[in-house]
Structure 1
Amino acid sequence: MDRKLVSAVAASPVINDGDMELFRALPTEARESVGPFVFLDHYRHQSRRGIGDKPHPHAGIEVISYLLDGGVEHRDSQGFRDTLGPGDAQYIRAGRGMLHAEQPAGGRHGLQLWTSLPPDRKLVEPTYASFRAADIPHVQLDGAIIDVVAGDVAGAVGPMILESRTTFAVAHIDAGATIRFEVADAPELAAYVLQGALDADGTRLPKGALAVFSDGEAVVLTTPEDAGPTLVAIVGGEPAQQPLYFSGPFVMDSPERLAQAERDFVSGKMGCLDGVPF
C-alpha cells in the first residue's frame, strides 16, 4: 500500500540575512514531531559563520548532522574531534549531557536533526560517531539517487543505528521524475523539500515544505518539470514517546529532568569545552 499525503507543514524562517538562510521544519505550531524526530533545521550560508560554532550543550537527544556541501570541524567535551565533508553524516548521542562545537570551513549547506531519546535512555552516557559518504548506501532508481543514512529505504539499510527505530535518507530527484520506493518499519514518515519542489497527490510542495504521509509500505514522489533537480530529506520512524519537554538544547520527559539537565550544565557535569561553562 502506498503512503498518502496527510498534511503539509511550512518550515518557519529563523534567519535570512543575505549570508545565512535557516528554516525550521520541526518543531512548529502545526507539528511537534515526526517519528522520533523533534527538531529539523535546514541551513545554507556563504561565509565561515556558524550556527553551533560556539561550545554549547545537549541532553536527552540524539543529534544528526548531514552535509550536502561544505565542510565542518567537530569538537566535544568527550574528547572527540572530527572533520566532515559533502555527503558525510554525524551522530551524537547526548544522553545525560555533553558540550560540542562545530566550526565551518567555509560556506555550508546541510541539515541538523534531533531525535528524542526514549525515557529509559535519556540519561545514558554520551557517544559520537561519523559516517563517510562512501560508506552510506546510494540507491540508484530511474530518475533518482537515494542516500540511506539510517533505516531501511529502497531496499538498502543505512549504517547509522539510533536508540529508536529511525529512518533518515536524502533523495536526489531529476526534474519531471516519478519515483516509488519502499520504506520499512516507519509508522510515521515525512519528506522535507530542501531544493526544487514535489507534487504529492496533486499538491505542489515547494522548498521548505514538510509533507507528512500516512502509514504504508511505499512512497511515491513526483517532481514537476519546471522545478529543476529536487532534493528531499526522508525522515521518520517510531513515534517519539510522550511527554516531551523542551528547553533550548535539552529535551526531556519531565520538568524535573529538564531542571536537572540545566543544573548539570551549569555545574560542569556535562564537561567543559573552551572554558564553557564558566
Structure 2
Amino acid sequence: MTTNLIVGAGTGLDHWRNARCLADMRPIDLTRLVPDGARAVIIAPHPDDEILGCGGLLQLLHAAGRSLLLISITDGTASHPGSTAWPAERLRQVRPQESEEALTRLGLSGLNWVRGGFEDTQVATCEDAVSAFIKQHLRPGDVVFATWREDGHSDHDAVGRASSRAAKAVGATLHEVPIWAWHWAHNDDPRVPWKRARKVCLSPYAIARKRYAAQAFTSQLEQDPSTGLEAVLPAPVLERLLQPFEVVFIQE
C-alpha cells in the first residue's frame, strides 16, 4: 500500500457506524489479549499514534496493572511540510511534549517510554535499523501493538513490518492496529484482514478520556496559518478514531 490512499475526506463516520463488519466483529477480553504477567509494548510511528490507535487500550492495561512500554519511532517532524509556523525544529520539540501531555491526561504520566528519533516519512528507508532498535527494547513474552503493516501510510507500514521482525526474533507476540485504514477502507473491504480483527470495547468514560488526551495534539488539530492548509487531523478524521471500541488484528 502507498500513501496515496490517504486522500480526500475519506470514508465517513456514518459508514463505519453502520458497517456490518464492525457490528459482527468479535470482542476480545483484555486477559486474553495481554495475559497476566505479560508486558504490553505500544509502538507508535509518530507522536499521537499511541493515543489514536490505543488510547483506550492503554487505559485498560494500566487499570489492570499490566507493565507498559511505549516506543516512539519518529518525533513527527514532517507533519507540516513547507510550514513556517511549524518548522521541523519546532515540531521535534513540541510533538513529543504533546504526547507527554496526552499520556498525563490518560493518567499515565511517568510511563516507561523510549524514543527512536528516526526521520519522519523515511522509516521505510531504514527499516533494518528500526527493527534492530525495536528488538533491543523487547523481551520474550511481550505483547506488542504496532501499526498495521498495510495501514496506507509508509511509516505505519514500515513500523508494522519492522515490529513483526523484531517480535519474531525475541519470541514476543505481535498484534497490529489500523489507524489510517479507517480513512480509505470500507465495510467488508477485501484488503483488510477482517477475520483477524477483534474489538477492544471501551466505556463512555474511557472514550471521553481518550478524546481529552487527543486534544493535547494541538499541532495536529489546528489549521496552519502559514500555508492555509487544514489541520492534519481534522474533526472527521479524529471522530473516526473515537468510536466505542478499538480494533486490533490479532496474531494467528
**TM-score of the aligned structures, taking structure 2 as reference length:** 0.29
- Determine which structure has the larger helix proportion and give its number: 2
Larger Rg: 1
